[in-house]
A and B are shown apart, each in its own frame.
Chain A
């Protein structure tokens, strides 16, 4: 039976991604072999760490939540011709807004509290992404650099508030008090930490997919990203669309911060490393799916597996945890390269291939 267009497309894409992941693990083995460890043992402990028990599956899903949000944020922006690589800072702004509001306002019923937190964190991230968007449109300052440079500022703001005005009552650790229980995203499996943030993340991806592909405004976003001069000559207000895409992207990235503070952790504290957090990984999450909002769900889960797995790889196989960055980067390179090869074989991933350079 000859495979028809759509089926052939999905079979081809699935096959090439699976093959790229295998090749990626193969290439990563070089680094594990170089330090005298056995890659097979290492990968076994990786999978064991990510899937070994119901508890570890819950942890893997929890780690995927911020990655799906930041990945979706990157996808929306890149798709609309704005290179927002400041998801890390926007995530922190969302986390700051969530913690500050949740600890400052009087205790409200949950059905008011959670929507309020969603609004303030979205606004905080949108504001933070709006600044570089404004600087790009008004002054032509490259958003690639401005969004990135703005990542470090919220990091120091967090450092200030968790050791100053919002430090916990005991004044021992650099973190805020725990936010009230009604402001927390509840767990949806009793006994496990996995919380409603996962559902929010998946819903966000579906909504963004519908917006970009099924509405005329979404079409204008994509047209601006696919071919700016053509979009402009079609009468699309490209500057306004880029500004809106950036604001939407920043707001979505901020939800990752909301889910960390109101969901997973319950308090705002300074991450041990701001240098390569969920924000940066999110860019890779988006790139490997060729900027597809629904694909982000899968790649977010995949990166979640890698993160949880590499923690157990360090414990179980003595492979330094920094291996996660190496694997992540190699996976992006192999998947992107496979898109290139696929195109030569006559497959197309979707409109506007990210692997392709301008």
Chain B
């Protein structure tokens, strides 16, 4: 007989873990999109972040160095994207798709060149382990299953609150939203559209790199080709579901994580269901949340549109 209460708690605990990299990547992408730029490269950027984080973490035996390396790699991809899409005015689907493939290829290439293998064969990396806070652990049932997360999860929850304030209560947030809604008007009141978009895309890239680093350093302790498995794209769906607001994105990522975790744990209680069917569910859920979200979504008005200063409307 399955203990359903315990089952539910295990599902939620694992769901938080599934939500974390999606949340981190989505928190970056939300700012990029708020500034009017779609960054479609984050799936590849996550893979690059994961590879660099694993390699540097393994070389220095310090996960924080790995984390930083992953973020820097992501930042560079974000920079390349905003340079091509905003400074060269190239189509954002083109720059996003080609950088997705570039970053993905680079991750596998670097990993193979450094280690001589395509997966983490015989390599060890220090991982971000669950923090055991004695006071929390003593809480029956919940303590050992839900409240023993790793340090990155605690950091990202604090980050959600900080970013919510930045987005809606600071001048910077106002500038970002203005640039994404009406870049001409923003420029006319003296906001540098280029600076804002460069900052948002570099930050968004770094967060995608961090999300990748989370997967290789906290979640798996491994790197292999294709390990991000579409989670970058799911993160973009969560940004839309979360209406480009950090707190709602947190809620969206958690709902997604728990549902996904439920599907995966179904394997344990119902082994007769083909596991492949359960593995398709995250993608089905992502499509479902997109459909639900799109009914009420208010996209940043200038999303996907490059800004040409010479064509701005004065007034």
Which A residues are closer than 8 A to B by beta carbons? Answer: 31, 34-35, 83, 85, 135, 139-142, 144-146, 148-153, 156-157, 159-160, 164, 273-276, 280, 283-284, 287, 320, 322-326, 328-330, 332-333, 336-337, 340, 354-358
B54 within 8 A of A: no
Interface 9-mer from B148-156, B164-172, B277-285: B277-285
Instruction: Verify A326–B106 contact, CB threshold 8 A.
Output: yes
Instruction: Verify B91–A356 contact, CB threshold 8 A.
Output: yes
A278 and B313 alpha carbons, distance in the complex (Å): 43
Instruction: Verify B105–A274 contact, CB threshold 8 A.
Output: no
CB-CB under 8 A for A153 and B102, given A146-B290, A160-B274:
no
Instruction: Verify B274–A355 contact, CB threshold 8 A.
Output: no
CB-CB under 8 A for A326 and B109, given A142-B294, A148-B233, A337-B88:
yes
B141 within 8 A of A: no
User: Please, which residues of chain A bring their CB within 8 A of the CB of B130?
Assistant: none
> Which residue of the partner chain B has the closest CB to A164?
B274
Tell which of A160, A275, A322 touches B276, judged by Cβ atoms closer than 8 Å.
A160
Tell which of B93, B105, B287 touches A83, judged by Cβ atoms closer than 8 Å.
B93
User: Please, which residues of chain A bring their CB within 8 A of the CB of B304?
Assistant: 357-358
Q: A275-B229, A322-B225, A354-B94 are in contact. List 10 more A-B contacts (CB 8 A).
A: A83-B93, A139-B294, A140-B295, A141-B291, A142-B290, A153-B280, A325-B102, A332-B97, A357-B92, A358-B304
CB-CB under 8 A for A322 and B283, given A144-B93, A148-B233, A357-B91:
no
Report B244 CB to chain A, min CB distance, Å. 14
Tell which of A34, A139, A145, A357 touches B233, judged by Cβ atoms closer than 8 Å.
A145
A323 and B106 alpha carbons, distance in the complex (Å): 8
User: Please, which residues of chain A bring their CB within 8 A of the CB of B88?
Assistant: 337, 340
> Which residue of the partner chain B has the closest CB to A330?
B102
Instruction: Verify A355–B90 contact, CB threshold 8 A.
Output: yes
B286 within 8 A of A: yes
Tell which of A152, A276, A337 touches B104, judged by Cβ atoms closer than 8 Å.
A276
A10 and B112 alpha carbons, distance in the complex (Å): 41
User: Please, which residues of chain B bring their CB within 8 A of the CB of A150?
Assistant: 283, 287
CB-CB under 8 A for A324 and B229, given A35-B113, A164-B274:
no
Instruction: Verify A283–B97 contact, CB threshold 8 A.
Output: yes
User: Please, which residues of chain B bring their CB within 8 A of the CB of A283?
Assistant: 97
CB-CB under 8 A for A157 and B287, given A145-B237, A320-B108, A325-B108:
no
Number of interface residues of B (CB under 8 A): 50
Instruction: Verify B97–A149 contact, CB threshold 8 A.
Output: no
19 A-B contacts (beta carbon < 8 Å) = A85-B97, A139-B295, A145-B240, A146-B290, A150-B287, A156-B277, A156-B280, A276-B104, A287-B97, A320-B112, A322-B105, A322-B108, A325-B102, A326-B102, A326-B105, A328-B105, A329-B102, A340-B89, A358-B305
Instruction: Verify B276–A328 contact, CB threshold 8 A.
Output: no
CB-CB under 8 A for A153 and B283, given A140-B295, A356-B91:
yes
B234 within 8 A of A: yes
A72 and B180 alpha carbons, distance in the complex (Å): 33
B84 within 8 A of A: yes
Report B191 CB to chain A, min CB distance, Å. 20
B98 within 8 A of A: yes
Tell which of B101, B109, B283, B284 touches A276, judged by Cβ atoms closer than 8 Å.
B101
User: Please, which residues of chain A bring their CB within 8 A of the CB of B277?
Assistant: 156, 160
A156 and B236 alpha carbons, distance in the complex (Å): 22
The 3 closest A-B pairs by CB, nearest first: A325-B105, A329-B102, A322-B108
Instruction: Verify B101–A280 contact, CB threshold 8 A.
Output: yes
User: Please, which residues of chain A bring their CB within 8 A of the CB of B229?
Assistant: 152, 275
B249 within 8 A of A: no
A355 and B113 alpha carbons, distance in the complex (Å): 33
B250 within 8 A of A: no
User: Please, which residues of chain A bring their CB within 8 A of the CB of B230?
Assistant: 148-149, 151-152
Count A-B contacts at CB 8 Å: 151
CB-CB under 8 A for A156 and B109, given A141-B291, A354-B94, A358-B91:
no
B85 within 8 A of A: yes
A141 and B299 alpha carbons, distance in the complex (Å): 12
Report A4 CB to chain B, min CB distance, Å. 30
Instruction: Verify B294–A141 contact, CB threshold 8 A.
Output: yes
Report B272 CB to chain A, min CB distance, Å. 12
Instruction: Verify B280–A152 contact, CB threshold 8 A.
Output: yes
User: Please, which residues of chain B bring their CB within 8 A of the CB of A357?
Assistant: 85, 89-92, 304-306
User: Please, which residues of chain B bring their CB within 8 A of the CB of A144?
Assistant: 40, 93
CB-CB under 8 A for A140 and B294, given A135-B287, A325-B101, A357-B305:
yes
User: Please, which residues of chain A bring their CB within 8 A of the CB of B90?
Assistant: 336-337, 340, 355, 357
Tell which of B93, B97, B112 touches A322, judged by Cβ atoms closer than 8 Å.
B112
CB-CB under 8 A for A275 and B99, given A149-B286, A152-B280:
no
A150 and B305 alpha carbons, distance in the complex (Å): 26
A140 and B299 alpha carbons, distance in the complex (Å): 11
A354 and B91 alpha carbons, distance in the complex (Å): 7
User: Please, which residues of chain A bring their CB within 8 A of the CB of B106?
Assistant: 31, 322, 325-326
User: Please, which residues of chain A bring their CB within 8 A of the CB of B274?
Assistant: 160, 164
> Which residue of the partner chain B has the closest CB to A355?
B90
Instruction: Verify A329–B290 contact, CB threshold 8 A.
Output: no
Instruction: Verify B89–A323 contact, CB threshold 8 A.
Output: no
B84, B230, B283, B304, most chain A CB atoms within 10 A: B283
A356 and B305 alpha carbons, distance in the complex (Å): 10
Report B223 CB to chain A, min CB distance, Å. 13
A325 and B225 alpha carbons, distance in the complex (Å): 13
Instruction: Verify B290–A141 contact, CB threshold 8 A.
Output: yes
A6 and B94 alpha carbons, distance in the complex (Å): 27
> Which residue of the partner chain B has the closest CB to A353?
B91
Report B123 CB to chain A, min CB distance, Å. 16
Report B173 CB to chain A, min CB distance, Å. 24
Instruction: Verify B101–A328 contact, CB threshold 8 A.
Output: yes
User: Please, which residues of chain A bring their CB within 8 A of the CB of B279?
Assistant: 156
User: Please, which residues of chain B bring their CB within 8 A of the CB of A275?
Assistant: 104, 225-226, 229
